[in-house]
């Protein structure tokens, strides 16, 4: 049988044959994927050749009938148009870049984040986007100071309404601390601290987010030291304060009498 251009036969560990497809462009050897038959592998090669050499296609001309994966489609279009090869489905623009998860999901990032996402693949699970960083699943929102389990619209928001636009100017962190919510009461901005024990308990209402965050830490210490809860709470780190300043606020801050009564009830 005549050898098909761009097709190489390989074998799985169990001895079963499969066919790899590849193409060379600008001295770069590009793997196009693995296929069950040489004809399918050759078709992928022909699609890539059309993109790279005849240049008749665009990102939006992809269809489910293509043999190339959409990820590979993005990669080779970016290489053709912008001259940079990335192993992830990234397409460069003048001041930002797009990371495509599928033909309908385009995530936008600042150019400053390019190095990170060129080497970290983005995954999606239950509506969240994450990367595997040193073996740990990390929500990409963590890179903006947004904690896990933060609520969109309450703790952070996308200014232009596009939930896929992760450029830094578009993300506003509303509540940066665990257990703290910004609220308006009697036309006055206050910070309400709550802790989850058996349901949600209000710790107190405070005049600043830092005081509210420290109150949360104090409440955590209280419920754990009194055996009220054995949950593994994550406490707030207050970067703006040194240890002396922190301890002064911690000692002075008051927490709810109802919360303190839980310790008395438990001891009785």
**Residues 105-129: pLDDT tens digits?**
999 999 999 999 999 999 998 889 9
Q: Residue 134, exposed/middle/buried by CB under 10 A (0-12, 13-18, 19+)? A: exposed
Sign of the Cα torsion 159, 162, 164, 167 reads negative
In the prediction, which pLDDT does 212 show?
96
Residue that has been written with the tokens 């460069």 in this structure = 92
* Distance of alpha carbon 90 from alpha carbon 116, whole angstroms: 12
Domains observed in the chain: 1-68 (3.30.730), 86-174 (no CATH), 180-267 (no CATH)
Q: 137 Cβ partners below 8 Å, 6+ apart?
A: 123, 130, 131
Q: At what angle do helices 243-252 and 209-225 cross, to 10 degrees?
A: 70
Residues of the chain with pLDDT under 50: 1
In the prediction, which pLDDT does 267 show?
57
In the prediction, which pLDDT does 203 show?
95
In the prediction, which pLDDT does 1 show?
47
Residue that has been written with the tokens 């600042």 in this structure = 110
In the prediction, which pLDDT does 186 show?
87
Q: In what order do the strands lie in the sheet with 17-25?
A: 7-11, 17-25, 28-35
Rg (C-alpha) for the chain, rounded Å, is: 27
3-class secondary-structure state, position 195? strand
In the prediction, which pLDDT does 266 show?
62
């Amino acid at each position: 049988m005549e050898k098909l251009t761009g097709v190489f036969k390989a074998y799985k560990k169990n001895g079963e044959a499969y066919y790899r497809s590849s193409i060379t462009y600008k001295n770069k050897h590009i793997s196009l994927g693995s296929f069950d038959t040489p004809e399918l592998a050759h078709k992928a090669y022909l699609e890539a050749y059309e993109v790279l050499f005849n240049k008749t296609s665009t990102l939006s001309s992809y269809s489910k009938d293509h043999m190339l994966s959409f990820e590979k489609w993005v990669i080779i279009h970016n290489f053709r148009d912008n001259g940079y090869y990335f192993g992830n489905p990234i397409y460069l623009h003048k001041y930002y870049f797009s990371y495509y998860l599928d033909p309908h999901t385009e995530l936008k990032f600042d150019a400053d984040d390019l190095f990170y996402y060129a080497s970290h693949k983005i995954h999606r699970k239950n509506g969240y986007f994450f990367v595997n960083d040193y073996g740990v699943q990390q929500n990409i929102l963590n890179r903006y100071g947004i904690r896990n389990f933060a609520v969109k619209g309450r703790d952070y928001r996308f200014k232009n309404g596009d939930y896929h636009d992760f450029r830094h100017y578009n993300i506003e962190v509303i509540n940066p601390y665990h257990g703290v919510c910004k609220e308006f009461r009697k036309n006055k901005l206050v910070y309400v601290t709550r802790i989850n024990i058996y349901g949600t308990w209000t710790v107190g209402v405070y005049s600043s987010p830092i005081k509210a965050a420290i109150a949360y830490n104090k409440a955590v210490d209280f419920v754990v030291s009194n055996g009220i809860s054995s949950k593994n709470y994550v406490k707030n780190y207050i970067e703006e304060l040194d240890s002396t300043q922190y301890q002064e606020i911690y000692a002075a801050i008051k927490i709810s009498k109802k919360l303190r009564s839980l310790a008395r009830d438990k001891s009785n």
